[in-house]
Amino acid sequence: MTESEDGLAHASAMRQFAQFAEVSGLDLRDLCPPDIYAYVEQARDAEWLPASAHVDVLQAAAISSGRADLGVAFSMWCNVRGFGPISLLWDHCTTLDEASRITRRYMHLESAAMRSSTDITGHEAALRHVLMAPARFGGSQFLQATLTLQLRIVRMLLGEEWTPIRLELDHPAPPSIRYHQAVFRCPIEFGSDRCALVFRKSDLHRPSSRANPNMVRYLEKQLAQADSLWPGDLVQQVRYFIAANLTERKANLPHVARLAGLSPQSLQRRLAERGTTFAAILEQVRKQTADEYFRTARRPNLTELSHRLGYTDASAASRFLRQHMSTGARALMARSRTTRTDTGRAVTA
C-alpha cells in the first residue's frame, strides 16, 4: 500500500465496476477524463487505489452517459461477496445490528471512501452513509451504490421481501426515479439532510434465518488478524477511526488507541514521530466533517452539526467553528448554498 491523502480503497470494487460497464455497453475510456480512466487501468493489477478513484469514475461515467441510476444498477448487478474479506461475513451474521457493527469496525480494510453510522429516532433506525473521500464531480452515485449494496445485505439477512420505510438522499431528484423505486420499493426523499436507509428499529435485532455464528466468529478473527497487519499509514488509520466514532462520542484517545491495538501513550509517541498529535488529527477530521455537512445538508443547523462533530450541544459546535475554522455557521451556510448551485447539475447526474 502507498500513502494517499484521501486514504485507500481495495481495487476489487473498481474491477467489478469495469466488468459491469463492459456488459452494459459502457465505454469507460470515452466516458471518463483520461486521468480518471487511468484508475480503471491501474485496477487490473493494483491491489489498492486512492479512495476517491471509484467515487470519481462512477460519477464521471454517470454524468457522461446520462445514467442517473448507474450507481444503483451497478450494486444490483455486482457480486456482494466480491468486495474483500468483510463482504464474506455479511450473510452469516445473526442480526442486522451485528452486521452493521462489524462493518463499521473493519470498513477501513475495504475502503476509506465512506463511513457509516446507525441513527435511532423513536421507532425508526437509519443506516447513514457519509462520503469521506474528496469527490471531483460529486459523490451522489457512489452513495446511491453503497446504499443499494446495504439494501441487498439487509435482504440477505431478513429476506428478499424486506422493504425499508424510506430512502433518504441528500441530492436533488433526477428526471426519472422509476428504477430507484423498483429496487427500493419504498418512498424516496431527495434533498434530505442525509443519505440513509430508514427502517423499523426492531429490524436491527430480528434474527436472521441464515445466521451462522461459528462462521461469524471465524471470519471476524480473520478480519482482526488482517487489521493487526494492516500496513496503512498510521495517521490515516487514526483519522478513519476518529471519523467512524465521532457521532457516538467515542472519538477519544483511549478508545482510538484500543482500536489501533496500541496504548494511548504508544499511539501519541508514534504520532509525534510523524509530526502530529491525536488532538490535531481530531481537529482535522472535525473540520472535514463540518465542511461535508454544510456542503450537503439542505437545511443545516447547529444541533445536527454538534451531533456529527461528537458534541452534546449546539454551543460546542458553534465554538468549534469560530475557534478552529475562523468563521461562523451563517458564513458556511451561505458558502454551501453557492457551491450547491454551481455544482447541482453534476450531483444529479
85 φ, ψ to 5°? -60, -35
d(CA 191, CA 289): 19
Of 61, 74, 71, residue with least CA distance to 32: 61
Helices 278-296 + 264-273 axis angle, to 10: 80
pTM score:
0.74
d(CA 145, CA 63): 15
| Residue 146 reports pLDDT greater than 90 | yes
Query: Which triple of cell numbers denotes residue 121?
Result: 429516532
pLDDT band at 276 (very low <50, low <70, confident <90, very high): very high
Q: Cα 211 from chain centroid?
A: 25
Query: Which triple of cell numbers denotes residue 124?
Result: 425508526
| Residue 5 reports pLDDT greater than 80 | no
Q: Cα 242 from chain centroid?
A: 14
Cα dihedral 138→142→147→151 (10° resolution): 150
- pLDDT for residue 343: 43
Kindly list the structural domains of the chain, giving each domain's residue range(s) and its CATH number in brackets, ordered by start: 69-205 (no CATH), 233-347 (1.10.10.60)
DSSP classification of residue 188: E
More confident residue, 59 or 130: 59
- Specify whether the CB–CB gap between 260 and 278 falls below 8 A: no
- pLDDT for residue 345: 47
Per residue in 108-120, pLDDT tens? Answer: 888 888 889 999 9
Per residue in 155-213, pLDDT tens? Answer: 999 999 999 999 999 999 999 999 999 999 999 999 998 999 999 999 999 999 989 99
d(CA 143, CA 137): 13
**Cβ count within 10 A of residue 344:** 12
Q: What is the 3-state secondary structure (H, E, C) of 38-78?
A: HHHHHCCCCCEEECHHHHHHHHHHHHHHCCCCHHHHHHHHC
- Specify whether the CB–CB gap between 173 and 190 falls below 8 A: yes
Query: Which triple of cell numbers denotes residue 29?
Result: 475510456
